[in-house]
Amino acid sequence: MVLSTNPWLYLPQPNPKAKIRLFCFPYAGGGTRIFRHWPNHLSDTIEICAIRLPGREGRISETPLTKLLDLVETITPNLLPYLDKPFAFFGHSLGSLVCFEVAHQLRQNYGIQPFFLFASGHPAPQLPDLDPPIHQLPEPDFIKEINKLNGTPKQVLEDKELMQLLMPILRADFEILETYHYTPKPPLNCPITVFGGLNDPEANETELVPWSQHTNNSFEHYLFPGDHFFIHSAQLEIFPILERSLIQCLDHQQSS
């Protein structure tokens, strides 16, 4: 199997001998570069498979999708050939919603689901989004709102040519977020662990804990210093939790 032939996937360090595949779903405007160095911080038991969405990196010529259902229904069948070993999902912000819905789509359509799900930096799916939508704002106002999240370097925001490339991706991703409507679903059977930033204006602890309603299994949540992009600043604290959770869960499944 040659994973690199699938445009939806990028493997920073292909590892056929790994026991676990961890599929990583990026935040709005993000790409697979977010996860490029993750294999350096995890054991070779875990193979990182980063999700590459249309409109970015090697798919720059493709039109970004703007509805979550369209994205989920396109991603899900493309993952099937790579679910031949135990697999888990990690998503940050937009990625949390996407991997949550892909997990349900896999269960509904194919009778399979991840053995672990990590959601990061996003309120529980059933909670209403009370923030006013920004994806249709005039460009200066849209950029101002993006800047508030503190995830895009100032030099990028000030580079007009680069922003012209990024703008369709950002608008599309925020449209996905802002037009998402949760439909009630039976809880997943896998454990769910949720990560949050202590100073994240997008997802506080009260909004993260209700993720517990989406699993029949164990639930944990962790808060780290940082804002919405604690996913970068707190990496060295996050990696051991990922490693321990995945290996302990797999060992438990295999011994039971």
Q: Which span out of 126-130, 223-227, 249-253 was modeled with the highest average pLDDT?
A: 223-227
User: Which of the pair, 17 or 147, is modelled with greater confidence?
Assistant: 17
Residue type at position 121: G
* Residues labelled as active-site residues: 93
Supply 222's token pair. 């962790």
Worst-scoring range by mean pLDDT, 27-31, 58-62, 142-146, 224-228?
142-146
Q: Which domains does the chain have, with CATH numbers?
A: 3-128+184-255 (3.40.50.1820)
Worst-scoring range by mean pLDDT, 20-24, 30-34, 115-119, 122-126?
30-34
pTM of this prediction? 0.93
Strand order across the beta sheet in which 9-10 lies = 9-10, 46-51, 20-25, 87-92, 116-120, 192-197, 219-224
Instruction: Give dist(CA 137, CA 114) in Å, integer.
Output: 37
Tokens 């875990």 belong to residue: 46
Residue-wise pLDDT tens digits, 75-107: 999 999 999 999 999 999 999 999 999 999 999
DSSP state of 244: H
- 117-142 per-residue burial string, b: 16 or more CB within 10 A, e: under 16: bbbbbbbbbeeeeeeeebbebeeeeb
- Residue among 192, 8, 19 at smallest CA distance from 91: 192
